[in-house]
C-alpha cells in the first residue's frame, strides 16, 4: 500500500483563513480611493488567492513538475492572448 502524503488539517484551515482575510482586504481596499491602483491591487490580491488555492487546495506545491507546467501553460497562454491583443486595444482607444 502506497501511503499518499496528505497535508495537515491545520494547514488547510490556515489557507482558508488567509483566503477569507484576503477577501476582506480586497473588499476594504476597493473603498480606499487609490485611482487606477484600485484595480491593480484587486487583481494582485486575486492572483495571490488563486495561487493559494492552486498550491494548497489543488496540491500543486507537491505535484509533479509536469502538472505545474500544465497549470502554468493555461495562464501563460492567456497572458499571451491578453498581452498581445493589448498592443491593439491599449493604443487604439
Partner 1 sequence: MSTDGPSQGANSAPSGGSAAAKPQAWGDHASNDGPPRGANSAPAGGSAAAKPQARGNDASAGPMPTPRSYLDDGFSLWSWFSSVDHKRIAILYAVSITLFFFTGGVAATLIRLELITPAGDFVSAETYNKLFTMHGVIMVWFFLIPSIPSTFGNFLVPLMIGARDLAFPKLNLLSWYLYIAGGLFTVGALIAGGVDTGWTFYTPFSTMFSNTHVIAAVTGVFVVGFSSILTGLNFIVTIHKMRAPGMTWFRLPLFIWAMYATSIIFVLATPVLAITLFLLAIERFAGVGVFDPALGGDPLLFQHLFWFYSHPAVYVMILPAMGVASEIITCYARKDIFAYRSMAFAVLAIAIIGFLVWGHHMFVSGQSIYAGMVFSILTFLVAIPSAIKVFNWTATLYKGSIHFDAPMLYLLGFVGLFTIGGMTGLFLASLALDVHLHDTYFVIAHFHYIMVGGSVMAFLGAVHFWWPKITGRMYSDRWARFAAIIVFVGFNLTFFPQFLLGYLGMPRRYHEYPPEFQVLNVLSSAGASVLAVGYLLPLFYLFWSLKYGPRAGSNPWRATGLEWQTPSPPPVENFAAIPVVTAPPYQYSAMEIAPQPPRSRSAPAPRERGEGPGEGIPGKDAV
Partner 2 sequence: MTQAVIVARQFDDAEQQRKASDLGMWVFLATEVLFFGGLFTAYIATRLHDPQAFAIASRLTNVTLGSINTGVLLTSSLMMALAVRATKLGSGRAALGFLCATAVLGVAFLGIKFTEYVLDYHDHLVPILDFSHPGPHAGGVENFFYLYFFMTGLHSIHMIVGIVVVTVLAVMTARRRFTPDYFTPVELGGLYWHLVDIVWIFLYPLLYLVSRT
CB 55 within 8 A of CB 29: no
Q: Is 34 in the site for partner 1 (CB under 8 A)?
A: no
Least distance to partner 1, CB of residue 67, Å: 10
Q: Is 37 in the site for partner 2 (CB under 8 A)?
A: no
Q: Residues 72 to 91: which contact partner 1 by CB under 8 A?
A: 73-74, 77, 80-81, 84-85, 87-89, 91
- Classify each residue of 9-39 as buried b or exposed e, where b means 16 or more C-beta atoms within 10 Å of its C-beta: eeeeeebeeebeeeeeebeeeeeeeeeeeee
Binding region for partner 1 (CB under 8 A): 66, 73-74, 77, 80-81, 84-85, 87-89, 91-92
Amino acid at each position: 500500500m502506497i501511503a499518499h502524503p496528505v497535508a495537515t488539517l491545520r494547514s488547510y484551515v490556515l489557507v482558508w483563513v488567509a483566503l477569507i482575510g484576503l477577501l476582506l482586504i480586497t473588499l476594504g481596499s476597493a473603498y480606499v480611493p487609490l485611482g487606477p491602483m484600485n484595480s491593480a491591487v484587486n487583481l494582485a490580491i486575486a492572483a495571490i488567492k488563486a495561487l493559494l488555492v492552486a498550491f494548497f487546495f489543488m496540491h500543486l506545491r507537491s505535484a509533479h513538475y509536469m502538472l505545474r507546467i500544465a497549470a502554468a501553460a493555461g495562464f501563460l497562454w492567456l497572458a499571451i492572448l491578453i498581452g498581445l491583443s493589448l498592443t491593439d486595444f491599449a493604443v487604439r482607444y
